[in-house]
Amino acid sequence: MRDLARGMFVFGYDNYMAHAFPQDELNPIHCRGRGPDRGDPSSDHIMGNSSEFQKAVKLVINTVSFDKDSTVQVFEATIRVLGSLLSAHRIITDSKQPFGDMTIKDYDNELLHMAHDLAVRLLPAFENTKTGIPYPRVNLKTGVPPDSNNETCTAGAGSLLVEFGILSRLLGDSTFEWVARRAVKALWSLRSSDTGLLGNVVNIQTGHWVGKQSGLGAGLDSFYEYLLKSYILFGEKEDLEMFNAAYQSIQNYLRRGREACNEGEGDPPLYVNVNMFSGQLMNTWIDSLQAFFPGLQVLIGDVEDAICLHAFYYAIWKRYGALPERYNWQLQAPDVLFYPLRPELVESTYLLYQATKNPFYLHVGMDILQSLEKYTKVKCGYATLHQVIDKSKEDRMESFFLSETCKYLYLSPWKEFFSEEGGPDQVGKSGHRPKPQELKVINSSSNCNRVPDERRYALPLKSIYMRQIDQMVGLI
């Protein structure tokens, strides 16, 4: 499986470098680039290719500049570009060199300087907002555009703390972490006093919730992820307190189905979209981004619930050979049919294997890899599926396919900590590992350190519950 995943990455990466670099993405059908300059040097090291990693770093240093009249999304520029630069810098300067010799002769912190330059150009997004929540877009040369939208999603504004925090600590300049943390606190202060839930779209000037849907998918997903990962990285108790409170509200209002994953009667556990103020169901669909949540549950030790939720998303994958962007669980059919090679299900599979060592999750990884090879591989890379039913394609290979999807498929037997865009993040001597009593886990009968040996070699779910989930998505 590892060799196949490496081959998938190399095929996509080589074609990106040949036809698209330094542009953001590859059009794999017509073999050309698209989007602004980006350059991501932080993936080759994982595959053990030191020479290509070093070559990519030098290319980025010599060819990429942020001094251009280009308007970017603050969130995407942070997790994809800033995160890549910081990850590559840490890989080069890590005295332990865990991935082999990735050092570069005469390296003078150029990637860190580039990250600093980019972050300074993003800072105007945090200015002139009455709430402290940043504008969603900024021009790298001129600042916030005059016609900028005052509405932003919770995930986009509240998922900057990992990269900005790492940058602040590497530079010894608290500015970046301070503005990112202020945005998180501002969003947190706007949560419903009745339910403790947040909405998915907010006005950055008034603090009014424009989008009142609360769920685990688009618009909210990485907000929760960054609360926990920020605590693991930096050890700030307020991050953990916010996460624990958010997780409690999620369990109280979003979770449906039986109390336990692997015992009892009733429907399998499922997390739905509700109104943030009332907790009432808003619709009957989930989106593919929600597949990250089992992985997050693994990180806090709620492995049993993670197993059940992951099984639901994997059943959808088995039915279509991909994960539709939006799936209606009541109609047992996709609402939005495309699949842009997203990594969330793969990441959760990787983390569940690390937690349980159950070879079932290696089987899941291989199944996903083979589906990608069968349905998405084209002349110059891997293409977005326009329609998961007929497998028609769009001429686009998102950058996260290389930096996350391929990487998690390759990494299953390894242990590492990754940020939103799949980069290894290690700050200082070590990250802060939460103590079990610090994490207020609900509905959990086990954690990562207490998976019984007999569970490692059986199906993670009893067969009756596996069949129940398969029936739930129309597989049988």
CB atoms within 10 A of CB 71: 14
Beta bridge partners of 23: 37
Q: What gap in Å lies between CA 421 and CA 470, rounded to an integer?
A: 31
How far apart CA 428 and CA 175 sit, in angstroms, is 18
Alpha-carbon distance of 292 to 346, in angstroms, equals: 9
Give which of 10, 13, 35, 8 is closest to 24, Cα–Cα.
Answer: 35
Residue 318 token pair:
């088995």
| Amino acid (one-letter) located at 303 | V
Backbone angles phi, psi at 335, to 5 degrees: -95, -35
Q: Under 8 Å CB-to-CB from 7, ≥6 apart: which residues?
A: none
110 is written with which tokens?
């150029």
Q: What is the number of alpha carbons within 13 Å of residue 329 lying toward its C-beta?
A: 22
3-state helix, strand, coil in the chain (%, to 5): 50, 15, 40
Both tokens assigned to 46: 């994982």
Write out 32-46 in H/E/C secondary structure.
Answer: EEEEEECCCCCCHHH
Run of H or E residues at 285 = strand 285-287
Pair 103, 97: CB distance under 8 Å: yes
Q: How many CB atoms lie under 10 A from the CB of residue 247? A: 21
Tokens of 18: 């040949």
How far from 280 is each of 75, 110, 213, 326, CA to CA, in Å? Answer: 29, 51, 10, 20
Residues in the chain: 476
Residues facing 309 on adjacent strands: none
User: Residue for token digits 């991909």?
Assistant: 322
Name which of 61, 156, 76, 119 is nearest 398 in CA terms: 76
Active site residues: 76, 221, 325, 344
Residues 19, 23, 26, 29, CA torsion sign? negative
